[in-house]
Chain A
């Protein structure tokens, strides 16, 4: 099973990303998936979490996600107050939306840090700093289980029509940006 934790602020689409990843993995992938937000009322700007679980067999676990294989941070300012690597498994990957390079981050643990300026991509493709789909594209580039095609199909299914085209461009833009670095 793969567990992904998404860090965002209320209103940035963190849970939408978690849910789209779930759709990509299950409806359009060969897996089962589960997605849920940190439960409770949220206000814009407050730190929120999203979770995605995927597995090649049915997921029956209904407890919270305590350890994860991937952490995705949509808003780096969160890192001032939230310990984003808590529960990230040894050797796990953390994907951060930032202009800085991976060496700038000193985490207490053996993690693989990947950075991407998703805000820049979002501003270009969407005209606003909603980085969730760009980060989805980045995720597609750094994981083995869920490919970009599934994510693009998930956007067609899970987003309103007016938003699909530009969000898919954001996904592809981020995907290529990471793949080129690799």
Chain B
């Protein structure tokens, strides 16, 4: 039993090291309040992402998408996805992300942050 599990997991860990991508952390931080508008919203994930099928959007309190729709996955750090935003007035914002890991596992999620006047 021990030998079987050891071999199975050793092989799996070495050759199949991909899984679902979940949010690790973000900038602005999840649930945070920031002074002044950020210029970009960044989200780091637990796996490398497939750029063609991953996206991140930012919505204002009325539900209108306000990001610049220039989503990109960082070429040097494929676990980092970002999108630019215009100068955001004070208010609450919702980030919606959809991540496809390089092994095609698909996950989605949301979080919010607030902006106050600088």
Q: Do A and B assemble together?
A: no
